[in-house]
Amino acid sequence: MSDQSFALEGGSSLAVSESVVMLSDGERLTHVDCSQITGVSRGGAELIVTRREEDPLRLRAATITDARAIEQALATCCGVSPLYRRRWNPNSD
């Protein structure tokens, strides 16, 4: 799989590759190994990436479509489990 890059709000960018996620905010570059990612949740265009022994990354994509693409890229590169949990449905048991 090739690297996938996404523009975020505020001029930041996110790149997802085989086993590393790189977040650039213009001043610094944050590398996150996929093995450290414990979950991804999305609400609208905002994503929260939880990590082992680190604060979560809060990302705001430019659009909901971009947020879905980022969510899919993280699932593809970092493995399906535990990223894809069924969304909570208050009408089900």
pLDDT band of residue 3 (cuts 50, 70, 90) is confident
Residue 50 lies in a domain: yes
pTM: 0.75
Q: What is the 3-state secondary structure (H, E, C) of the chain?
A: CCCEEEEEHHHCEEEECCCEEEEECCCCEEEEEHHHEEEEEEECCEEEEEECCEEEEEEEECCHHHHHHHHHHHHHHHCCCCCCCCCCCCCCC
Range of the domain at 9: 4-78
- Which CATH number does the domain housing residue 44 bear? 2.30.29.30
**Would residue 56 count as lying in a domain?**
yes
Strands 37-43 and 46-51: antiparallel
Number of domains in the chain: 1
pLDDT tens across 53-93, in order? Answer: 889 888 899 899 998 888 888 888 876 554 445 555 566 55
